[in-house]
Structure 1
């Protein structure tokens, strides 16, 4: 049985091998660098509906702690306990391009209510980190 997860890779560095993180559900969180507003997005890694294809990344929900210039929540967002909650309209992205700067706090990687900086999985090179759904590579299988 394949083990689903995400592969993290530095877009600018083919020399750094991707890091496999075994996870089926996770939350990415960050604080907007200028507006200082917290943003959280929930994802699941699920099997493709097409046989033989790699898994896909499914956006499950998102929350924004308030609103600010250029960060308006969508029209269908609901305000609950200070968070605008909504379901993203992009349901099945093939991956995410995460811009990571040395001048801002790193993304928080959250699983089961526990959050750590994304840098604990893959240090930033100050550029873009690619997050893609994947299956555990054979070399790291136990």
Structure 2
């Protein structure tokens, strides 16, 4: 069974047996929530719908986005991401992984963001 691996440079720090998830975070300056829905596939992580609750510094609403329930909803056409690389520092706060109707800080599985490991990667892997 495929699942989601979290780590860096191919070293697995945590493994989750999930097939879909939402990656969520707050913009470091504007404090506006962003959400991206992903599907875990054998080819990599496929981005589905994305949402943002507003605009601000470096936060333009993509062309074709639609405002629904206070968020701009849009789709971007990207190839499967393998890995998905994320910056993760104490100053920026933590990402959330949402699945099975609940959200959890990424630190639940990989520890709090720190200056030494200022990045993390997510990729499709085989779960045990």
Same fold (TM over 0.5): yes
SS at match of 2:36: strand
Aligned residues: 125
Q: Aligned residue for 1:10?
A: 8
> Among residues 26, 36, 59, which one is paired with 1:41 in the alignment?
36
Runs of 4+ in 1 over 4 A off after TM superposition: none
The 5 Å alignment of 1:18-57 reads 18-47=13-42, 55-57=43-45
Deviations 1:68-112 (A, max 9, x none): 121112101101111000112214212211111111220011002
Distance in 2 (alpha carbons) for counterparts of 1:30 and 1:122 = 16
Q: What are the ranges of 5 or more consecutive residues in structure 2 without an aligned counterpart?
A: none
Please tell me whether Structure 1 or Structure 2 has the larger radius of gyration of its CA atoms. 1
CA–CA separation in structure 2 for the residues paired with 1:91 and 1:77: 20
Q: Which residue of 1 aligns with 2:74?
A: 86
Runs of 5+ consecutive residues of structure 1 not aligned to the other structure: 48-54
Q: Is the 8 A contact 1:10 1:125 kept in 2?
A: no
C-alpha RMSD of matched pairs (Å): 1.7
| Alpha-carbon offset, residue 17 of structure 1 | 4.3
Structure with greater strand share of residues: 2
- Alpha carbons of structure 1 residues 17 and 96: separation in structure 2 relative to 1, 3 Å: closer
- How far the C-alpha of 1:29 sits from its partner, in A, is 0.2
1:61 and 2:59 equivalent?
A: no
> Are the equivalent residues in 1 in contact too, given 2:3–2:125 (CA < 8 A)?
yes
TM-score, scaled to structure 2: 0.88
